[in-house]
Amino acid sequence: MRRAVLTATFLLGLAVQANAQPSPAPTGEGASVTRAEIRELIEAAQATAKASRENVDYSRVVPDLLYQILAKLDKIENKLDKVENAVKSGRTSQTRR
């Protein structure tokens, strides 16, 4: 469902931009759009859609990676706290002697 909404938004954005651009002045018989130009436009739209999909996939993966990194950092911090507490308790026991 999310892809459909993103695709529709993207195509709507392209249509708005295309509509806002002034049309070129027709020059004789060559005023119509050629098949090559249409093919280029389709390829550009496909490349943009592919980049949009990759961006969506990236935005889904990044929070998962950040969560994993933060979880590992929490574990390291807990281990460091244990080591610091052990060192402090070792110092206090040596000073009591």
Q: For 56-71, how does the pLDDT look when each residue is reduced to its tens digit (9 = 90+)?
A: 887 777 777 888 899 9
d(CA 20, CA 44): 19
Mean pLDDT of the chain: 81
Q: Binning pLDDT at 50, 70 and 90, where does residue 89 land? A: confident
C-beta separation of 5 from 51 below 8 A: no
> What pLDDT score does 97 carry?
62
Q: For 22-59, how does the pLDDT look when each residue is reduced to its tens digit (9 = 90+)?
A: 666 555 555 578 999 999 999 999 999 999 888 888 77
Q: Which two tokens stand for residue 92?
A: 């206090």
